[in-house]
Amino acid sequence: MIRLSMLDRKLVRDLARLWAQSLAVALVMACGVMTLILAMGATRALEDTRAAFYDRTRFGDVFATATRAPESLKAEIAAIDGVSAVETRIANPVIIEITGMAEPATGMLISIPDHGEPAVNRLYLRSGRLPEPGRTDEAAIIEAFAEAHGFRPGDSFDVLINGRKRHLSITGITLSPEYVYAIGPGDFVPDQKRFGVIHMHRTVLEGAYDMKGAFNSVSLTLARNADRKDVMARLDTILKPHGGTGAYDRTDHMSDAFLDTELTQLRAMAQVIPPIFLFISAFLVNMILSRLIALEREQIGLLKAVGYSNAAIAWHYSKLTLLISLVGVVIGAIAGTYLGQGMAALYGEFYSFPFLVFSQKPDLYVISMLVTFASALAGAANAITGAVRLPPAVAMRPPAPTGYHSIFSGTSEGFRLPFSQLTIMALRHLVRWPMRTALTTLGTALPVALLITSLFALDSIDHMIDTVWFRADRQDATLTFTAQASEDAIRDVSRLPGVLAAEPFRAEAATLRNGHRSRIVQIVGSDPDTDISRVLDQDFGAIKLPPAGLLLSERLAEHLDLAPGDQVEVELSDGQGRRVPVPLVGLTNSYVGLTANMSREALDRLSGQGVRISGARVIVDESRIGELYDAVKQTPAIASVALQGVSRKRFQEVIEENIGISITIYVSLAVIITFGVIYNSARIQLSERARELASLRVFGFTNAEVSKVLLTELGVMVVLAQPLGWLIGRGFSELVAKGFESDLFRIPLIINPPTYAVSSLVVLGGALVSALIVRRRIDRLDLIRVLKTRD
């Protein structure tokens, strides 16, 4: 058996006595450790995996598309200063037909060199092989799509390539750095079943699309110290005559941007959440230790009197702190590791990496432990210093009685507030230790804030769904033609089975300029009286498109530093090089992308090419949707189809699942903090006031009345914490929404009253339970023993 020193025996007994309070603190610490390990582990996993994968596959730095650029430009592009490698290719959207699946899937058909690997955006071969040169019916497909349909090398499927149905046989399953997060047209979240990426040899696609010696997509990697902006500008100059739609870099690359968003979120989690927990636990440690040392004042005096050194006493209380922290670290590490594996599994579902290791290097645990120990000791420092400073002679005398101030006046004469003496007791105690009261209130406000910050996503997403799918893009499907067509095409679309209404649109890539600022975007032209897909103003009302002029989304106008009434210089990417000033007539609300809208007629006038349409938005008879799907698969002129209704359902599904998980986690975290703060603060108050409260019982006050003193005090803090929590929660939410904002999408900051209410209710519930647990102790107060002891 180990022989413990007397001080260590005291330590063990103290811990045994304080187990409930210690556990409450340890759990708060555990939450900090858990979130730290989880967020930092996931950040690392994602960052490392991404870096390794991009490096290995030579993921491009800059991307651009054109309508048809001669292959001779490749050398010109390669010669741009700062470009280290170039890959040109043919990439087109296709409609994929899969037996047994009613709705058409869409895909990107991308060329790979006939011989050798691409210089940029290499494929990672999971199984099988790449198509053999010369074979026109072989293709490789990305893994997510293959898995969703159970495809293996040797299986086959049909694709509509440039209007001709082709039967392709799968030679290999691949991963692509461009489609780590593979998202189809019109989708908000990946739908692995409905979006596929197909790679075929360049010559095959040159033949299929009549693109001999030409390309329509280019990716390049940059040298280490290249001037990215300059490269992009030069690339634009080269491609503009060939329908270049503007170069973009990784920030605007859909797949990478989504990864970045995830990383931003994780980093924010690692930076914001663990400190909240560590701060609260430091405060709780301070509270517990201060009280313990106050209670043990005379023991400390005695220990010093008999010759224990200050260092021995400081170490004694530090050990207590460290032991509590250790319990927290262990629980947190186990939970963090467990949840981290769950998180990695979740990532595996959404991100297509060849490997995704949830990084569990020991340093992460060491860091978490050190940070937790440090914050706990910081919390304890004040109390321990107090114990060390106490001269033994003073320590052995009882402390002077606590002085109070006569606020919440109950003087015998004059004005009196309508408080009972019991209430005054509670209120004066609150004011007597303002710092503690403030910190306890803050500690209770933080879980409210945490809940609001996690729950507001539901409100915002509800609002987004409502705005995007029920106010703006109300079509069931969007059909995009392989090439722009005459207005007659809309009649053909209307005649497709199941189509109840069809609305034409024209989309043109264009450069918008204001002084030195410029941006390449799609200008979408619609009919002014459009009712299916509508443009929304900033109050979410439908805008009737004006006969002339341009409408820009707020963020785009901000980028270009434009306000309504200003002139925008518009240059269509049609190779003509005409720059036309167009007035900005209004700002629009858009959560997705940078949008530019105008009336179709105005766009036709601007192009000078007559009336052309790019596609149609349709409303479909639900009962005949299958027939429409079949027709679309058979219609050569339709290049791609976005199914808004299906996208919305998929989005809601994914969000519900993910948010369900995160809400469970956040509610648990909030409850743990609430419990840690309220339970400890109630226990400490009870310890400080046991004598007072027992006296009240002796004087004939009932248990309920006596509990009221303690509960009033807690109640005031908990109630004050609510508006504070709402405020902090709103601030946090704003930061989160801002953090998510990118050119691709943004999250509106919408917090509905029920979200405030639910957040408060969860915390109030947690507080109530903690208070009731402590109330049971009041019922068991030993009246007689209290009377015998001095304060």
Partner 1 sequence: MRSDPPTSTLPIFAVSGLTKVYRTGDVEVRALNGVDLALEAGEMAVMLGPSGSGKSTLLNIVGGLDRPTEGSVKFKGMELSGASDRQLTAYRRDHVGFVFQFYNLIPSLTAWENVALITEVAAKPMAPGDALALVGLESRMNHFPAQLSGGEQQRVAIARAIAKRPDVLLCDEPTGALDSATGIIVLEALARVNEETGATTAIITHNAGIRKIAHRVFTFLDGRIASSEINETRVKPSEVTW
- Cα distances (Å, whole numbers) of residue 133 to 94, 207, 459: 22, 14, 53
Asked if 415 is part of the footprint of partner 1 (rule: CB under 8 A), the reply reads no
CB of 712 to partner 1, least distance (A): 12
* Residue among 400, 414, 539, 780 that touches partner 1 (CB under 8 A): 400
Asked if 433 is part of the footprint of partner 1 (rule: CB under 8 A), the reply reads no
CB of 426 to partner 1, least distance (A): 9
**Span from 227-235, 275-283, 420-428, 723-731 in contact with partner 1 (CB under 8 A):** 420-428
CB of 442 to partner 1, least distance (A): 23
Asked if 791 is part of the footprint of partner 1 (rule: CB under 8 A), the reply reads yes
Asked if 425 is part of the footprint of partner 1 (rule: CB under 8 A), the reply reads yes
Distance between CA 238 and CA 232 in Å, rounded? 10
In the complex with partner 1, which residue's Cβ is closer, 548 or 686? Answer: 686
Q: Report the sign of the C-alpha dihedral through residues 754, 759, 761, 764, in that order.
A: negative
Asked if 418 is part of the footprint of partner 1 (rule: CB under 8 A), the reply reads no
**Cβ pair 734, 749 in contact under 8 A:** yes
Query: Residue 205 is encoded by which pair of tokens?
Result: 């696609």
The full DSSP string for 326-376 is: HHHHHHHHHHHHHHHHHHHHHHHHH---S-------HHHHHHHHHHHHHHH
CB of 699 to partner 1, least distance (A): 6
CB of 670 to partner 1, least distance (A): 32
Asked if 785 is part of the footprint of partner 1 (rule: CB under 8 A), the reply reads no
Q: Residue 661: helix, strand or coil by DSSP?
A: helix
b/e per residue 137-174 (b: at least 16 CB within 10 A): ebbbbbbbbbebbebebeeebebbbbeeebebebbbbb
Asked if 434 is part of the footprint of partner 1 (rule: CB under 8 A), the reply reads no
In the complex with partner 1, which residue's Cβ is closer, 72 or 789? Answer: 789
**Span from 92-100, 177-185, 422-430, 769-777 in contact with partner 1 (CB under 8 A):** 422-430
Distance between CA 768 and CA 751 in Å, rounded? 25
Distance between CA 590 and CA 468 in Å, rounded? 8
Asked if 20 is part of the footprint of partner 1 (rule: CB under 8 A), the reply reads no
Binding mask 223-262 toward partner 1 (x if CB under 8 A, else -) reads ----------------------------------------
* Residue among 355, 404, 470, 540 that touches partner 1 (CB under 8 A): 404
Task: Count CA within 13 A, CB hemisphere, residue 483.
Answer: 8
**Cβ pair 616, 477 in contact under 8 A:** no
**Span from 138-146, 403-411, 507-515, 606-614 in contact with partner 1 (CB under 8 A):** 403-411
Distance between CA 721 and CA 448 in Å, rounded? 8
Asked if 68 is part of the footprint of partner 1 (rule: CB under 8 A), the reply reads no
CA angle 392–396–397, rounded 5-degree value: 125
CA angle 432–438–443, rounded 5-degree value: 135
CB of 701 to partner 1, least distance (A): 7
Q: Whose CA is closest to 682, among 596, 770, 755, 599?
A: 770
In the complex with partner 1, which residue's Cβ is closer, 406 or 623? Answer: 406
Asked if 740 is part of the footprint of partner 1 (rule: CB under 8 A), the reply reads no
In the complex with partner 1, which residue's Cβ is closer, 415 or 699? Answer: 699
CB of 788 to partner 1, least distance (A): 8
In the complex with partner 1, which residue's Cβ is closer, 424 or 455? Answer: 424
Phi and psi for 243 in degrees, rounded to 5? 80, 30
Q: Under rule CB under 8 A, which residues in 475-494 are in contact with partner 1? A: none
Distance between CA 518 and CA 246 in Å, rounded? 10
In the complex with partner 1, which residue's Cβ is closer, 178 or 713? Answer: 713
**Cβ pair 605, 549 in contact under 8 A:** no
In the complex with partner 1, which residue's Cβ is closer, 560 or 693? Answer: 693
**Span from 273-281, 428-436, 468-476, 582-590 in contact with partner 1 (CB under 8 A):** 428-436
In the complex with partner 1, which residue's Cβ is closer, 413 or 539? Answer: 413
**Cβ pair 41, 336 in contact under 8 A:** yes
Q: Whose CA is closest to 24, among 477, 328, 425, 310?
A: 328
Asked if 780 is part of the footprint of partner 1 (rule: CB under 8 A), the reply reads no
In the complex with partner 1, which residue's Cβ is closer, 72 or 411? Answer: 411
Phi and psi for 236 in degrees, rounded to 5? -60, -45
Number of residues that bind partner 1 (CB under 8 A): 36
Distance between CA 515 and CA 330 in Å, rounded? 59
CB of 385 to partner 1, least distance (A): 25
Distance between CA 398 and CA 791 in Å, rounded? 8
Binding mask 672-711 toward partner 1 (x if CB under 8 A, else -) reads -------------------xx--xxxxxxxxx-x------
* Residue among 100, 406, 516, 539 that touches partner 1 (CB under 8 A): 406
Asked if 593 is part of the footprint of partner 1 (rule: CB under 8 A), the reply reads no
Beta-carbon contacts of 665 under 8 Å, excluding residues fewer than 6 positions away, are 339
CB of 425 to partner 1, least distance (A): 5
Instruction: Point out which residues bind partner 1 (CB under 8 A).
Output: 400-404, 406, 410-412, 420-422, 424-425, 428-429, 432, 691-692, 695-703, 705, 783-784, 787-791
